[in-house]
Structure 1
Amino acid sequence: MEWRSAGLSWADRERPVLVWERGDVSPLVVGRRVGFRALGRRECVGARGNACPVAAVVPGRGTQARCAECARLDRAHSVAADTIADDPRTYRVYLAWFGAGMVKVGITREERGATRLLEQGAVAFVWLGRGPLMAARRAEELLRVALGVPDRISYARKRAVRAALPGVEERRRELERMYGFALALDGWPESLERVALGERGAGGRNVVDHGVVDHGELFGVERLGGVGGFAVTELVDGGVVLGDLVAVAGPDLYLDDGGFGGGDGRLVVLDSRLLRGWRLEGARGAERTTVPVREVPVVQGGLF
Structure 2
Amino acid sequence: MAQAWKCSGLRWSADGPVLVWGGGRRSALTWGKRVAFGVAEGGVRSCVGARGHACPLGAVVPGRSTGARCEECARLDRAHSVAADTIADDPRPYRVYLAWFGTGMVKVGITARERGSARLLEQGAVCFSWLGVGPLMAARRTEELLRAALRVPDRIPYADKRAVRAALPEAAADRAREVAELYQRAVGLPAWPESLVREPLRVVDHVGVFGLAGVPVAAGDVRELVAGGAVGGELVAAAGPDLHLATGAGVVVLDTRLMTGWGLVPATGSEVTVPIRQFKEVAGMQDGLF
Calculate the TM-score normalised by the size of structure 1: 0.90
Deviations 1:238-293 (A, max 9, x none): 100100101001100010112xxxxxx31111000000000000114x55110000
Question: Aligned partners of 1:69, 1:110: CA distance in 2, in Å?
Answer: 30
1:7 to 6, 9, 14: 9
Q: Number of paired residues?
A: 282
1:161–1:300 Cα contact (<8 Å) kept: no
1:91 aligns with 2:89: no
2:173 partner SS: helix
1:212 aligns with 2:203: yes
2:139–2:196 Cα contact (<8 Å) kept: yes
Question: Aligned partners of 1:71, 1:162: CA distance in 2, in Å?
Answer: 29
2:208 partner SS: helix
Give the alignment's Cα RMSD to 1 decimal. 1.4
Question: Aligned partners of 1:220, 1:102: CA distance in 2, in Å?
Answer: 20
Question: Aligned partners of 1:294, 1:5: CA distance in 2, in Å?
Answer: 23
2:117 corresponds to: 114
1:170 corresponds to: 174
> How far is the alpha carbon of 1:301 from its aligned partner?
5.5
**Unpaired stretches in structure 1, ≥5 consecutive residues:** 198-210, 259-264
Equivalence map 1:16-165=2 (5 Å)? 16-39=17-40, 40-165=43-168
Question: Aligned partners of 1:23, 1:16: CA distance in 2, in Å?
Answer: 15
Calculate the TM-score normalised by the size of structure 2: 0.94
Question: Aligned partners of 1:97, 1:38: CA distance in 2, in Å?
Answer: 34
1:205 corresponds to: none
Percent sequence identity over aligned pairs: 62
Question: Aligned partners of 2:27, 2:284: CA distance in 1, in Å?
Answer: 33
Q: Stretches of 4+ moved more than 6 A in 1?
A: none
1:177 partner SS: helix
Task: Give, as a single letter, the amino acid of the residue that structure 2 aligns with 1:126.
Answer: S
1:296 to 275, 279, 283: 279
Task: Give, as a single letter, the amino acid of the residue that structure 1 aligns with 2:247.
Answer: D
Equivalence map 1:247-286=2 (5 Å)? 247-258=237-248, 265-284=249-268, 286=269
> How far is the alpha carbon of 1:229 from its aligned partner?
2.1
1:235–1:292 Cα contact (<8 Å) kept: yes
**Unpaired stretches in structure 2, ≥5 consecutive residues:** none
1:220–1:248 Cα contact (<8 Å) kept: yes
1:189 corresponds to: 193
> How far is the alpha carbon of 1:302 from its aligned partner?
6.7
1:179 corresponds to: 183
1:101–1:301 Cα contact (<8 Å) kept: no
2:64–2:223 Cα contact (<8 Å) kept: yes
